Amino acid sequence: MATAVVPGRWAAAARELIGARELTWNLVQRDLKVRHRGTFLGMLWSLTTPLLIVGLYYFIFTFILQVTPAGDQPRPDGRAVPFAVYFFCGLTLWNLFANSVGASTTSVVGSAYLLNKVYFPRAILPLATVLSALVTFGFELAVLVVITAVTVGAPSVQLLWAPVIVAIVLLTAFGLALLLSALTVFLRDVTHFVGVFMQLWFWGTPIIYSLQFVQSRPGLVQLLKLNPMTGTVVSFRNVVLLDRPPGLKLLAYDAIVAVALVALGAWVFGRWQRVFSEVV
Amino acid sequence: MAGSEPAISCRGVWKSYRIYHQRSHTLKEKVLSRRNLYEDFWALKGIDLDVSRGTTTGIIGTNGSGKSTLLKTMARILTPNRGSLEVHGKMSPLLELGTGFHPELTGRENVYLGSSLLGQSRRQVDERYDEIVDFAGIADFMDTPVKNYSSGMYARLAFAVAISVDPEILLVDEVLSVGDEGFQVRCHQRMAELRDQGCTVVVVSHSLATVRALCSEAAWIDAGTVRQCGPSGDVVAAYLDAVHEGLLPGAPGAPAPAEGSGGHTLTGEARILDVSFVTPRGGPCAALHTGDPVTIRIRTVASRPLDDVSCGIAIHRGDDATLVFGQNTAEAGYALHLEGESVVEFAVEQLPLRAGAHTLTVALHDAAVRTVFDWHDKRYPLLVRADDARRASAGAAYIEGRWSATALPAAAGLEERPGPPPQAVPA
């Protein structure tokens, strides 16, 4: 019953977040509605954009560069995976991550008008951006499953791993969202920096290419494996498209990084959130 | 739930604002300026205050005394630097109308979003939704984005959402009661309803009448400390006395020379030294009462003899700054000559102001108001009290009059006895 103003320990913070779930969901709905209201295609845009990007990259790689950088081992049943589907699969998971992190930087400063008028656990602001990216991801995933079923075959039992992989990506994104949204309050440059950095990160993740494609350069492979998105993207593709088990070692590393990022983000956010309403 | 545990308990709460002279937001500025120049301003200096469960407490104080900071601290929007603040119960803050409303969302969506920001659950909003729409009176527009609303529609919807909250602790800033008089009445009704339901209410208000009528308790905040707290009648009376004695640094009674010249460039050849009110109730400090005689006494000093000079006064209402009355000696046909120190007086036989806060502006200028010697804009508080009979009235001014009624003879008799034609009424 008693709520001390001085923020309590982690459990209390988590309880508070859960207590604000209705408000969080309302903010997610607000984000989604505002983003698509007034546009002709509405929610369809969240599907149209990645499909157009897949089309664009497919054109560039297949007709201009004439390489197919997706060289994973074939499925156990020997069926080939079309490059466009291969790319789309990695892209959906990447979009979940990139949309969460990209939108999170402004989640606190963009809500200055709320911070000054009501109290709510401030962490629901970055949380809401991550969750609205998750809703968009849900639509993309549905399309991905249909496309996969049509072009490659029905999903295998490996698909059961997908929720675990998505959960790791969500944790990573939420940790970074906490960290970056708090940093942006004090340093507005973060938004621009993150925009550029996410481009770099995209190419540093085997989304449009496979790890096998670069395996002739072991140093590069080792570097890529340090990227916490590598394991999740590779594993996601394995379980959704390729009927293979996830890369458990990489996935475990990603999970550790995810938890560490959440801890770091929560620590920074928790330290600074009390002055948000005065600084923004 | 019962028991003596307070709903809100402040223990030695200190709160400072960092006032940045130049705040750097970007990396470039941070690197180039190395450090921010700032000063700490202590808005709250060790507040000890308990708000008992089920009471209605008014927080009063002059501008800048820290009462809004205290409310925001109670609302957990601000975190105290030192001290502890405990809140027991589900709290809704009403610091502005339409908190969290988004222009792109429809009326219905905003009702749910705004209510949840005020701490209402979806179920509570479902239950009250019809009531809210009913009160706002815009049932046909609930599926229209609020950006297409007129400002009146927007305000009604925002207000309907605000008064639909049903918390255990309600924090209200007076901003809610500005504007529409109907809102004000309804807002007070709703606060009274919640009070009667056992809700703990804390109101920050400039309107002492509101505090006295609505609140059982009051806390007077002065320069970041609790000057007095207790039954609202006592605290308000003590506060009024202090305002009239000009003891409060933030109160207009103690003029601040640097500000409040109403935007005029002052030549300073004649200056206003001080302004006082002389009333039959004794001394220049006592309260003014509706219908009483009062003399406004203005002491002036001129650095050289001035012939083309006019002394003007203006009275504004304290709540909405409506000009109630303004006149200067030139307009009144009174030739004023100032040399050295003088006393200019404006004598009123029966003060026609209604109870409430007013401000007095005093100015010295030439007859055409081209040259302004001195101008004290809204610097002097004119706090008017009234007895109950005079209090029961409405409007900007109090017109002293007597009501009477006489039974007339039968209508037929009137026709036979022609009255004087209207134009024959003596001027």
Interface test mutation site (partner B, options A23, A108, A191, max chain B beta carbons within 10 A): A23
Between A148 and A257, whose confidence is greater?
A257
Mind listing the pLDDT tens digit for each residue in B49-80?
999 999 999 999 887 888 889 999 999 899 89
Q: Residues B118-154: pLDDT tens digits?
A: 988 999 999 999 999 988 888 899 999 999 998 888 8
Residues contacting residue A216 through CB under 8 Å, at least 6 positions apart: none
* Chain pair A-B, CB pairs under 8 angstroms: 89
* Smallest CA–CA distance from B109 into chain A, residue: A30
Q: What is the pLDDT of residues B300-322, one digit of tens each?
A: 888 888 888 999 999 988 777 78
Inter-CA distances, B211 with A98, B8, B146, B204, B232, Å? 53, 19, 34, 9, 7
Min Cα separation A57/chain B (Å): 34
**CB-based contact A2 B88, cutoff 8 Å:** yes
Closest listed residue to residue B65, CA positions, set B94, B32, B42, B96: B42
Asked which of A194-203, B20-29, B103-112, B216-225 is least confident by mean pLDDT, the reply is B20-29
Instruction: Measure A188 CA to nearest chain B CA, in Å.
Output: 6
Closest approach of B14 to chain A, Cα-based (Å): 13
Q: Where residue B254 falls among pLDDT bands split at 50, 70, 90?
A: very low
What pLDDT was estimated at residue B52?
92
**Token pair in block for residue B191:** 């606060």
| pTM to 2 decimal places | 0.70
Mean pLDDT calculated for residue range B265-285: 74
Q: Which of A7-21, A261-275, B361-375 has the lowest mean pLDDT?
A: A7-21
User: Which of A146-150, A210-214, B38-42, B336-340 is the least confident region?
Assistant: B38-42
* CATH 2.70.50.60 assigned to B270-389: yes
- The residue-averaged pLDDT of B109-121 equals 92
Torsion sign across C-alpha atoms B253, B259, B260, B261: positive
- ipTM of the complex in this document: 0.82
Beta pairing, strands B270-278 & B323-328: unpaired
Residue B183 corresponds to which amino acid?
F
**What is the distance of C-alpha B412 from the center of its chain?**
55
| Confidence check: pLDDT of B252 > 60 | no
3-state secondary structure of B259: coil
Query: Percentages helix, strand, coil for chain B, rounded to the nearest 5?
Result: 25, 35, 40
With 60 as the cut, is the pLDDT of residue B157 above it? yes
pLDDT at B237: 86
pLDDT score for B36: 59
What is the C-alpha to C-alpha distance for residues B67 and B222, in angstroms, rounded to an integer? Answer: 8
Structure tokens at A71: 């060289």
Buried/exposed code over A205-226 (b: 16+ C-beta within 10 A; e: otherwise): bbbbbbbeebeeeeeeeeebbe
**Contact state of B99 with A29 under an 8 Å Cβ cutoff:** no
Q: Is the per-residue pLDDT at B202 higher than 70?
A: yes
Q: Assess whether pLDDT exceeds 70 at residue B297.
A: yes
Does the pLDDT at position B187 exceed 50?
yes
Ranges in chain B annotated CATH 3.40.50.300: 1-90+167-249
Q: From chain A, pick out residues whose CB is under 8 angstroms from the CB of B88.
A: 1-3
Task: Please give, rounded to a whole number of angstroms, the shortest distance from the CA of B182 to a CA of chain A.
Answer: 24
Nearest CB among B77, B88, B116 relative to A116 is that of: B77
In Å, how far is A255's CA from the nearest CA of chain B?
32
B105, A30 contact by CB (below 8 A)? yes
* CA nearest to B377, candidates B255, B250, B226: B255
Q: Render pLDDT for A55-113 as a digit per residue (tens, 0 to 9).
A: 888 888 888 887 777 766 677 777 788 888 889 999 999 999 999 999 999 999 998 88
Q: What is the mean pLDDT of residues B216-222?
A: 92
For residue B257, pLDDT over 70 is answered with no
Cβ <8 Å between A188 and B102: no
Reference A243, options A70, A72, A76, A73; nearest CA is A76
CA dihedral A97, A103, A106, A107 (to 10 degrees): -80
Which residues in B lie closer than 8 A to residue A29 (C-beta atoms)? 109, 113
Do residues B379 and B259 make contact, with C-beta atoms less than 8 angstroms apart? no
Residues of A in contact with B122 (CB under 8 A): 22
- Name residues 67-106 of chain B within 8 A of A (Cβ): 73, 75-80, 84-89, 91, 93, 95-96, 99-100, 102, 104-105
Confidence (pLDDT) at A79? 79
Q: What is the mean pLDDT of chain B?
A: 81
Helices and strands in chain B: count of H runs, count of E runs: 10, 16
Task: Please tell me the CATH superfamily of domain B1-90+167-249, with its number.
Answer: P-loop containing nucleotide triphosphate hydrolases (3.40.50.300)
* HEC per residue, chain A: CEEECCCCCHHHHHHHHHHCHHHHHHHHHHHHHHHHCCCCCHHHHHHHHHHHHHHHHHHHHHHHHCCCCCCCCCCCCCCCCCHHHHHHHHHHHHHHHHHHHHHHCCCCHHHHHHHCCCCCCCCHHHHHHHHHHHHHHHHHHHHHHHHHHHHCCCCCHHHHHHHHHHHHHHHHHHHHHHHHHHHHHHCCHHHHHHHHHHHHHHHCCCCCCCCHHHCCCHHHHHHHHHCHHHHHHHHHHHHHHHCCCCCHHHHHHHHHHHHHHHHHHHHHHHHHHHHHHHHC
Give me the pLDDT at residue B177, please: 56
How many other C-beta atoms are found inside a 10 Å radius of the C-beta of residue A134? 18
* pLDDT for residue A223 is more than 60: yes
Confidence of residue B251 (pLDDT cuts 50, 70, 90): very low
Q: Is B143 on the interface with A (CB under 8 A)?
A: no
CATH 2.70.50.60 domain extents, chain B: 270-389
pLDDT at B294 over 80: yes
Closest Cβ–Cβ partner in B80, B95, B102 for A34: B102
Phi, psi values for residue A250, rounded to 5°: -65, -40
Tell me how many degrees the CA angle B38-B44-B45 measures, rounded to the nearest 5.
Answer: 100
Instruction: Give the pLDDT of residue A202.
Output: 95
- Show which residues on chain A lie within 8 Å of chain B, measured between beta carbons: 1-6, 22-23, 26-27, 29-30, 33-34, 37-38, 113-120, 187-189, 274-275, 277-278
Residues of A in contact with B35 (CB under 8 A): none
